[in-house]
Chains A and B, each alone.
Chain A
């Protein structure tokens, strides 16, 4: 009795349908736009490559390079790193534990990219390896620790043509 003579089926194209479909459409369009315009995050991969690069350039024939222990060691020059790019986008901290002393290098500090107390934080890579070095004509053992992070964001280029 309640539904007798009702004509609800003929009111499919109502203002409410248009409203609903507009909301759904706008939501999907907004979501898709946000998703595809988001940065593809390669910071972790980049930090890993950066750490490997530092690690590789510290060794020659398996031995720690001798000038690393000198005070005027220039990591940018020795490892062929671009100082401007590193200083504006990367963070690194290197500890060379020689047993009797610990030599440290750090630079390009972007505290937001990596917290020293939390190496698992996204964007940070920690690599450790044993080292063999020569000092006073003796072969000694030590430990190398590298903490690296990238904070680089790509750039949409606008050209005036």
Chain B
């Protein structure tokens, strides 16, 4: 006779228990914190002035990410669209835009539960004055440059492949920052990973599988991605002037941009080809070369001859 009331009480407790767990999970879910941190960081960037470093307490974010088994790349900036992206374990994360036109670098220090925001002025190089890419970059220079970025995990790989293909390591780092902000799973819809390797163009070459899915899997490995990216850059550097001009003239039909592209020499021309010789925005970033050179200079390569 006592069974139905006991069952009733037990079922009620189970019901309210499940409801409580659901409410707690919803209120401490990744998306809630992703949104809060993305907006907080974007607003801080907008309030900041050049040469400021801002530290933000990231304890709740780190805890949430750990619950979701995510331990790195929790926050980054996509500076092509001025967007702060926080990913604490939900499918893709949450993005919020900042309106400041500064050079912004944001990364997480999970060990210290901090978000580190560096804000600086954009340095636009005078394109008519050549940058010294032959300047010798030693390990100390590279370490200093890496410390200004969130690419610390890849310093050995950058150093290794820059040496192997005889390319300035700061240039490799600048390209990596420009392409992916050092996000090893960055995906544009056509290009993948740290160096944003275009699957359609490069799969089936440089040791990559011709099957797109298999190729993408290979490119998830940072070492493969960096090696292929540096190899592509080297290949473009070795192009003859005639080949470069033909590619630009065949692809970029706008006379103003064509003139601009044809003024590029050496590393500038190789960088143009790395982004592609097209000149129709938004598919083509017509200021790509200037953006990478600005990064190169701000990373410590600013010795202009």
Binding site for B on A (CB under 8 A): 9-13, 17, 21, 25, 28-29, 32-33, 36-37, 39-40, 42, 45-46, 49-50, 53, 76, 80-86, 89-90, 152, 154-161
Contacts of A53 in B (CB 8 A): 46, 99-100
Cross-interface CB contact of A12 among B5, B22, B185, cutoff 8 Å: B5
Contacts of A83 in B (CB 8 A): 101
Q: Does B244 contact A (CB under 8 A)?
A: no
Determine the distance from Cα of A83 to Cα of B22 in the docked complex, in whole angstroms.
42
User: A157–B87 contact, CB under 8 A?
Assistant: yes
Contacts of B87 in A (CB 8 A): 157
Contacts of B185 in A (CB 8 A): 159, 161
Chain A, residue nearest B79 (CB) = A82
Contacts of B96 in A (CB 8 A): 152, 154-155
Determine the distance from Cα of A42 to Cα of B46 in the docked complex, in whole angstroms.
13
Cross-interface CB contact of B15 among A21, A39, A76, cutoff 8 Å: A21
Q: Does B43 contact A (CB under 8 A)?
A: yes
User: A50–B94 contact, CB under 8 A?
Assistant: no
User: B100–A154 contact, CB under 8 A?
Assistant: no
Contacts of B83 in A (CB 8 A): 155
User: A13–B4 contact, CB under 8 A?
Assistant: yes
13 contacts between A and B (CB under 8 A): A12-B5, A25-B18, A25-B19, A36-B26, A39-B35, A45-B43, A49-B46, A84-B82, A85-B98, A155-B94, A155-B96, A159-B187, A160-B187
Question: Apart from A29-B19, A36-B29, A156-B90, what 11 extra A-B contacts exist at CB < 8 Å?
Answer: A12-B7, A28-B19, A37-B31, A49-B43, A80-B100, A84-B81, A90-B99, A155-B95, A156-B95, A157-B94, A159-B91
User: B82–A85 contact, CB under 8 A?
Assistant: yes
Cross-interface CB contact of A13 among B11, B47, B98, cutoff 8 Å: B11
Q: What's the least CB distance linking B181 to chain A, in Å?
A: 13
Interface hub of A13, A36, A86 (most chain B Cβ within 10 A): A36
Q: Does B261 contact A (CB under 8 A)?
A: no
Cross-interface CB contact of B99 among A40, A50, A158, cutoff 8 Å: A50
Q: A42-B39, A50-B46 are in contact. Are A156 and B32 (CB under 8 A)?
A: no
Q: What's the least CB distance linking A41 to chain B, in Å?
A: 10
Interface hub of B46, B83, B85 (most chain A Cβ within 10 A): B46
Determine the distance from Cα of A33 to Cα of B18 in the docked complex, in whole angstroms.
15
Determine the distance from Cα of A50 to Cα of B46 in the docked complex, in whole angstroms.
8
User: B92–A158 contact, CB under 8 A?
Assistant: yes
Q: What's the least CB distance linking B214 to chain A, in Å?
A: 15
User: B82–A157 contact, CB under 8 A?
Assistant: no
Determine the distance from Cα of A33 to Cα of B4 in the docked complex, in whole angstroms.
33
The 10 closest A-B pairs by CB, nearest first: A157-B92, A159-B92, A12-B8, A158-B92, A82-B101, A154-B96, A155-B95, A157-B93, A80-B101, A85-B99
Contact with A along B183-224 (1 / 0, CB 8 A): 001010100000000000000000000000000000000000
Contacts of B22 in A (CB 8 A): 29, 32
Q: What's the least CB distance linking A134 to chain B, in Å?
A: 25
Q: A25-B15, A154-B39 are in contact. Are A81 and B100 (CB under 8 A)?
A: yes
Determine the distance from Cα of A53 to Cα of B101 in the docked complex, in whole angstroms.
12
Q: Does B52 contact A (CB under 8 A)?
A: no
User: A159–B100 contact, CB under 8 A?
Assistant: no
Residues 1-43 of B at the A interface (beta carbon under 8 Å)? 1, 4-5, 7-8, 11-12, 15, 18-19, 22-23, 26-27, 29, 31-32, 35-36, 38-39, 43
Q: What's the least CB distance linking A140 to chain B, in Å?
A: 29
Determine the distance from Cα of A29 to Cα of B26 in the docked complex, in whole angstroms.
9
Q: What's the least CB distance linking B34 to chain A, in Å?
A: 9
Chain A, residue nearest B29 (CB) = A36
Q: Does B107 contact A (CB under 8 A)?
A: no
Chain B, residue nearest A17 (CB) = B8
Contacts of B81 in A (CB 8 A): 84-85
Q: Does B268 contact A (CB under 8 A)?
A: no
